[in-house]
Amino acid sequence: MRTIDTATTIAATPARVWAVLTDFAAYPAWNPFFVAVDGIAEPGAALALHTKFSNRFAAKVFPVTVDIMDDQRHLRWGGGLAVPRLADGKHGFLLTPTETGTHLRHYEHLRGIVIPLAGPLLAMLERRYVQLNQALKERAESG
């Protein structure tokens, strides 16, 4: 298993960060990586993530299922490619209150037979997650 782990501090309450994070309908206005999400933020919900890996290519759609939804604390979904055990992941956002706002941990646990060969892809994903974190920070702090 490989893990991508990114983090940032946001000068907004966990409630505000959570509101932005779980408002999937607003993702096209601010999210550079998940440019759209079809579905609603609730446990067990099936989502279609429109994922933009690069500005040069159209978004790819991935089916995932929300498996953790702990209000104002933890959102996680999981899914994979169409072929079982080829590649799948658990993608999550963990919010921790701080004295000045919220610490965001944004991670993905990846496994499957192609993951050990996916070094350049994982590096690109990490860069895109950092961009998403910055966009979330700006959106939540703007009120």
CATH number where 41 lies? 3.30.530.20
pLDDT tens profile 98-134? 999 999 999 999 888 877 777 788 898 999 999 999 9
Give the position of tokens 């998940």: 34
pLDDT (mean) for 37-63 = 92
Structural domain count of the chain? 1
3-state secondary structure of 86: coil
- pLDDT surpassing 70 at residue 44: yes
Contacts of 24 (CB under 8 A, 6+ apart): 37, 38, 39, 40, 41, 47
Residue ranges making up the domain that contains 108: 2-141
**Cα separation, 105 vs 94, whole angstroms:** 5
Predicted local confidence at residue 84, as pLDDT: 62
70-93 residue pLDDT tens: 999 999 999 876 566 777 889 999
Q: Which of 22-31, 54-63, 105-114, 119-128: highest mean pLDDT?
A: 22-31
Contact 5, 103 (CB under 8 A): no
Beta-bridge mates of residue 65: 46, 78
